[in-house]
Amino acid sequence: MANSPQILRSEVIMEKYGKKVAGKTILITGVSDDSIGGELAMQLSAANPKLLILSARSESKVAGIRAKIHATAPEVQIRFLNMDLGDFASIRKAAAELDDVSHIDHLLFIAGVMFPPYSKTKDGFESQLGINYLANFLLVKLLLPKVRAAGPEASIVVMASSMVRLGKVEFEDYNYSDGKTYDPRAAYSSSNAARVMFVKRLGEKLKSDGIRVFSIDPGAVQTGLQRHCPPGFIDQVEEMKKAGPMSDLDGKPYPFPPWTSTSEGAATVITGMVDPTIAEYCGSYLNQNAVADHELHTHINDKDNWARLWELSERLTGEKFSL
Ligand SMILES: NC(=O)c1ccc[n+]([C@@H]2O[C@H](COP(=O)([O-])OP(=O)(O)OC[C@H]3O[C@@H](n4cnc5c(N)ncnc54)[C@H](OP(=O)(O)O)[C@@H]3O)[C@@H](O)[C@H]2O)c1
């Protein structure tokens, strides 16, 4: 394993490797005042990137972060990219709006939703599958030429979650029988399994290009993500922690992650982007700033499932993605 797992603040990683971010063009989804994506934008701005492309569903979401960056790093260019990840047309339009951007050094997929009541994206897919995963598949397909144009050491980093340990892709019933079989927690876990499996296959395909590809567990951070959790959710989690470890889909026990700050949540993304010690682990799942593939279960490690997911994603997005 490269590195040993350690919860670290983003500032610590930036101190070590921040220079690698200077002059770079970086696209971040999921930017808002209190989100991990917003914190990540702030942290990266300290290292003088050339251009931060901040994406959200409305410009007002990024206004607070933009103002803070203008105040602390006025030389950093900021561009807002309007994109609803629950709408393929919006994603395609946003990608087309980047025509004048010659290359993207770091593509950071941070946006996501957790445990919403059943709903479908504009294109008719269960919302967690659509927003957390299918949107990323489509965006990588559309923007990969720009990442390739950035050359070796460019990165694609995809947010996932420790709940991947409970997730498998529902190949036969990805829309949960129009909500009849929907369990918000199982669907969140499943969307994260898809994120990690996609990254595994993408990493395998892009390793020879020198592009860094990682999925990330940011740990447990109190953000807007818990908005769909039932009242008392945080207390429930504390009670479950006292009851002992959980078991993953292989029956392997694992502990609940401790609560951490947004800076600590963003840190592993930065590790994925620039830490040279993990470069050879392209495609891996990272947790606490270290390679954590040993945390994954059989369904996720099954290469046939990676291929099956790729084909399903091509079909659902209507986008052939050959590499
Ligand atoms: N926080 C944690 O403990 C934790 C743990 C494990 C994994 N994660 C992962 O970390 C990521 C970031 O979560 P967070 O904690 O920063 O949550 P957050 O504060 O809720 O931020 C999520 C961001 O995603 C955006 N988003 C949601 N739906 C969207 C859509 N359809 N189109 C465009 N943007 C959309 C949200 O924008 P709106 O405000 O417009 O909805 C928000 O800016 C998620 O992918 C999550 O799965 C978080």
- The domain ranges of the chain are 10-229+262-317
Q: Please, what is the angle between helix 36-45 and helix 59-72, to 10°?
A: 30
Pocket test for ligand 1, best of 57, 80, 82 (most atoms within 8 A of CB): 57
Tokens, residue 93: 């339009």
Which residues, 6 or more positions from 124, have their beta carbon under 8 angstroms from its beta carbon?
A: 175
Tokens, residue 312: 């399903």
Q: Whose CA is nearest to atom 37 of ligand 1?
A: 30
- Class of 10-229+262-317 in CATH: alpha beta
CB of residue 195 inside a 6 A radius of ligand 1 = no
Ligand 1 atom index nearest CA of 132: 45
Q: Where are the beta strands (DSSP E) in 112-260?
A: 155-159, 212-217, 220-221, 246-247, 253-254, 259-260
Compute the distance between CA of residue 198 and CA of residue 219 in angstroms, rounded to an integer: 20
CB of residue 196 inside a 6 A radius of ligand 1 = no
Residuewise pLDDT in 10s, the chain (323 residues): 467 999 999 999 999 999 999 999 999 999 999 999 999 999 999 999 999 999 999 999 999 999 999 999 999 999 999 999 999 999 999 999 999 999 999 999 999 999 999 999 999 999 999 999 999 999 999 999 999 999 999 999 999 999 999 999 999 999 999 999 999 999 999 999 999 999 999 999 999 999 999 999 999 988 878 878 888 888 888 888 888 888 999 999 998 888 999 999 999 999 999 999 999 999 999 999 999 999 999 999 999 999 999 999 999 999 999 99
Longest dimension (CA), the chain: 54
Nearest one of 47, 46, 41 to 22, comparing CA atoms? 47
Compute the distance between CA of residue 278 and CA of residue 3 in angstroms, rounded to an integer: 8
* Active site positions, annotated: 188
Ligand 1 atom index nearest CA of 121: 31
CB of residue 164 inside a 6 A radius of ligand 1 = no
The arrangement of strands across the sheet holding 77-82 comes to 77-82, 51-56, 25-28, 106-109, 155-159, 212-217, 285-287, 290-291
Q: How many residues does the chain have?
A: 323
**Residues forming beta bridges with residue 287, ordered by sequence position:** 217, 290
Pocket test for ligand 1, best of 36, 84, 133 (most atoms within 8 A of CB): 36
Question: What distance in angstroms lies between residue 113's CA and the mean position of ligand 1's atoms?
Answer: 5
Nearest one of 241, 220, 218, 217 to 229, comparing CA atoms? 220
Nearest one of 53, 40, 44 to 73, comparing CA atoms? 44
CB of residue 314 inside a 6 A radius of ligand 1 = no
Beta strand 77-82 with 259-260: parallel, antiparallel or unpaired? Answer: unpaired
Question: What distance in angstroms lies between residue 312's CA and the mean position of ligand 1's atoms?
Answer: 24
Total H helices, total E strands in the chain: 11, 12
CB of residue 34 inside a 6 A radius of ligand 1 = yes
Compute the distance between CA of residue 274 and CA of residue 225 in angstroms, rounded to an integer: 26
71, 79 contact by CB (below 8 A) = no
Compute the distance between CA of residue 207 and CA of residue 284 in angstroms, rounded to an integer: 11
CB of residue 189 inside a 6 A radius of ligand 1 = no
Q: Whose CA is nearest to atom 1 of ligand 1?
A: 221
Question: What distance in angstroms lies between residue 36's CA and the mean position of ligand 1's atoms?
Answer: 8
